[in-house]
Structure 1
């Protein structure tokens, strides 16, 4: 939404917007992307329990299992029971999330986290725009917080790009999931201002799914950090 407002990009976009060189995407109208990183393959036929989907040539992870699906540049049939919408995360992107609640007033108080979906070269990037959620001209007035996330190999940099707003809810990133980690991880370090800071985090690494999960973090929104795993 921030990119669409500030730079004129699209929010909901057809596959050809991201994969224009792939002729197969030009005629697809029953799948779509949310931004550049989320591929949605909905069921459009009544009573169907599967959906035929085209998976563009990139590294894609199943949103629900965090696993690399191993399909690229071809069509496939996906299971689609009534309670399941097929959603895939594109490698190379970092998504911020927040635990939900019944209203945005309450959800804005909840812990936050990051999904780092590494691409084939172990890189990923993303941004988070944050303001008070009420002010009409927050961006124009500079009353917002913009944070960038950059992952390279085994390092994640969290950098504050614009600091024009401080959230009163003491928000923190409490969990980071890194998808596509191809080496066994034994330890994680959190650094700030060039030095390691104390952290009571807990890490788990699944060598089968290649998912690194770091929980019990306390990384304050609006501050700069570096997270390293080895």
Structure 2
């Protein structure tokens, strides 16, 4: 991703997971810090969601043995699910969407979902495929393109939007006023909670918010 950034050429103790997650582990014994490079881009700390102010340079990150530093790149939407004790028990658990805004107020992500065991899901078309998009700083759209696997519900419980730099005054879900939201002013994070939204119920659903000037 950062092939034109010469600062990345000799780094062998950090890595990207896909295009969205930057992992900076502490590999040194008896050390509580890691000297990490943060490429020039929009990055948010995970799981706090706080936006990094220092980018395009090396910084020291607090990294005790109990912590692995992970940063989420702006412009991506990451679907997550509360885990269960095993695959079967976790299948029906609710989902969370982590929305990391880019500088232009957009983000995208997708989710492929099948039974987790079959090797012919594509051929038999027994799977679900969803795309998520954030546009215009304030509109999240969930598009369900394929919804053929329905052994377990796919319910969205919480959406966490990072980098919302204006005070949020109201939220709508599928065009209806929704009151279960919190806006964290210092960290610029909007959390819409207790949604219980069936992501397979409609081909397209929206969560939108208004802000003060």
TM range (shorter): over 0.9
1:140/1:33 Cα in 2 relative to 1: closer, same or farther (>3 Å)? Answer: farther
Structure 1, unmatched stretches of 5+, are 1-17
Give the Cα separation in 2 of the matches to 1:79 and 1:228: 36
**1:40 and 2:23 correspond:** yes
| Partner residue in 1 for 2:50 | 67
Contact 2:163 2:188 in 1 (8 A): yes
Q: Deviations over 1:113-152 (max 9, x none)?
A: 1000001111110001101112111123322111000001
Number of equivalences: 207
**What is the TM-score with the length of structure 1 in the denominator?**
0.86
Give the Cα separation in 2 of the matches to 1:23 and 1:35: 20
| Partner residue in 2 for 1:141 | 124
**What is the TM-score with the length of structure 2 in the denominator?**
0.93
| Partner residue in 1 for 2:134 | 151
**1:181 and 2:159 correspond:** no
Question: Aligned-residue CA RMSD in angstroms?
Answer: 1.4
Contact 1:126 1:149 in 2 (8 A): yes
**1:107 and 2:109 correspond:** no
- Secondary structure class of the residue paired with 1:226: strand
Contact 2:17 2:23 in 1 (8 A): yes
- Which runs of structure 1 show a deviation greater than 4 angstroms over 4 or more consecutive aligned residues? none
Give the Cα separation in 1 of the matches to 2:5 and 2:51: 21
| Partner residue in 1 for 2:187 | 209
